[in-house]
Structure 1
Amino acid sequence: MSSRGGLSVPAHESVDVESALRELYDVHYARLAGWTAKLVGDPDTAHDLASEAFVKLYREFAKVDEPRPWLYTVTANLVRDHWRKRGREAAAYQRHEAGRDLVTPAPDHATTLTVRDAVQALPDRLRVVVLLHYFADLPVATVARQLEKSEGTVKRDLFDARQRMAQMLGETR
């Protein structure tokens, strides 16, 4: 017997994929969608991204040993893609609005920066590690396996991310 995200799956036997996925969905979907909503700030988008992760799991089910960490890793990558798209859209909007003569004061960075903004501002290699470890509550060893990195590298990435976020959020020692 092997375990698939809390499910016991007989090794080397054919698995009713739809039943296994239905059970995984029942166990993990709500929490995954809630986690995603906290990251993207929009419940509808969060449900879309969580659903997309399950569609990808359906396609890759035979290759996935640990569905829960796999789902969070895929969803973290989907969130990262979402943030990139939103960044490109914001830049395009700013270019479009730049030609207008409206003068609005810039918001005070210190009062508008959130932890989500700080995480978004991290480089990809640090952002995904933070999302998986701190937001999805996956152990360092699991994050390392999912990202195909050593545990030491994941620990160093977490340290670097904390340092950068502390600077961004104005934390002093």
Structure 2
Amino acid sequence: MTTMTAVALRGGVAVATRDRVDVEAAVREVYDVHYGRLAGWTARLVSDPELGHDIATEAFLKLFREFAKVDDPRAWLYTVAANLVRDHWRKRGREAAAYERHEAGRDDFTPAPDLATTLTVRDAVQQLPDRLRVVVLLHYFADLPVATVARQLEKSEGTVKRDLFDARHRMAATLGGTR
């Protein structure tokens, strides 16, 4: 990826900036290489191809705006997409809870099915706390190495490894495995 940098003065301080044309070309190059996989990854996470494409597109729009600050576009994109997916899951959880509260007052209300018979790995990942969920999504689902995940989340590699260990134990307990 070729980018040209220029020096601009902002408030008397020299700041390196990237030429707008080169940013568009660089983001297009990243888009051509990573969009399909990112969109597929997010579509699987949210179980909706259209929403997955929307999330991937939003991640690329954010990349375009923040490109000058991004060192590793692939890792950055997956981190942003994971955060957007997490926001989606939170919203769905709030909507489901509100709907259930609304429907609970009705005479013909039937409770949700027993999760023990319908739980999947995706559900187990969704039940993880945010700090563990993002690490799992980036490492196992986006296939990023521990070092890259640590750098993106601004954590040490040891912390990321510990989070992965904790996440695996929690998911095993959730899915009925042994600790």
For normalisation by structure 2, the TM-score amounts to: 0.88
1:42 to 41, 48, 53: 48
1:154 to 152, 160, 164: 160
Cross-structure match for 2:13? none
Cross-structure match for 2:14? none
1:88 to 80, 88, 94: 94
- Per-residue deviation, 1:70: 0.2
1:124 to 130, 150, 153: 130
1:72 to 74, 78, 83: 78
1:59 to 65, 71, 88: 65
Task: Give unpaired runs (5+ residues) of structure 1.
Answer: 1-6
- Provide Cα deviations, 1:90-115, integer angstroms capped at 9, x if missing partner: 01100110110125365232221011
Higher RCO structure, 1 or 2 (CA under 8 Å, sep 6+): 1
Fraction of identical pairs, as percent: 80
Cross-structure match for 1:3? none
For residues 100 and 94 of structure 1, the distance between their equivalents in structure 2, rounded to whole angstroms, comes to 10
Task: Give unpaired runs (5+ residues) of structure 2.
Answer: 7-17
For residues 157 and 91 of structure 2, the distance between their equivalents in structure 1, rounded to whole angstroms, comes to 30
Cross-structure match for 2:141? 135
Higher mean C-alpha displacement, 96-105 vs 53-62: 96-105
Q: Report the aligned-residue RMSD.
A: 1.5
Q: What is the identity, as a one-letter code, of the residue corresponding to 2:87? A: D
For normalisation by structure 1, the TM-score amounts to: 0.91
Distance 1:130 1:101, change over 3 A: same
2:25 to 19, 23, 27: 19
- Provide Cα deviations, 1:107-151, integer angstroms capped at 9, x if missing partner: 232221011111010000000000000000000000000000000
Answer with 1 or 2: which has the greater Rg.
2
